[in-house]
Amino acid sequence: MTLMIAPVLAYTPFVDALAVHNEWYLLIIPIAFFIAIGYKAVRCYDMKNYPREVFIFTMQILIGLGILAVIATALITVLIPMIAPVPS
């Protein structure tokens, strides 16, 4: 039992990083959600529509980031090699 508790006690939040290096892109979803919660808490006129507006704004953030990722990938893989080809 002591061997199972030792790694948990060794972890100190905000000092040691979590080992999510391979799944970093999954953290975009909660970040977008929490940004939408905070923004719509200030900007929403009627709290009856608050959950719907948070969902819509979260989707707008995620779709916008997806579009930016596609544009950046196309720019890096297609346009930049056309402008500055790598000498072989």
d(CA 20, CA 36): 23
Whether 55 and 81 have beta carbons less than 8 Å apart is answered as no
pLDDT at 53: 96
Q: What is the pLDDT of residue 47?
A: 93
Mean pLDDT of the chain: 87
| Three-state SS letters, 28-85 | HHHHHHHHHHHHHHHHCCCHHHHHHHHHHHHHHHHHHHHHHHHHHHHHHHHHHHHHCC
Contacts of 4-10 with C-beta under 8 Å, sequence gap 24+, read none
pLDDT digits (tens, 9 = 90+) for 33-69: 999 999 999 999 999 999 999 999 999 999 999 999 9
pTM: 0.74
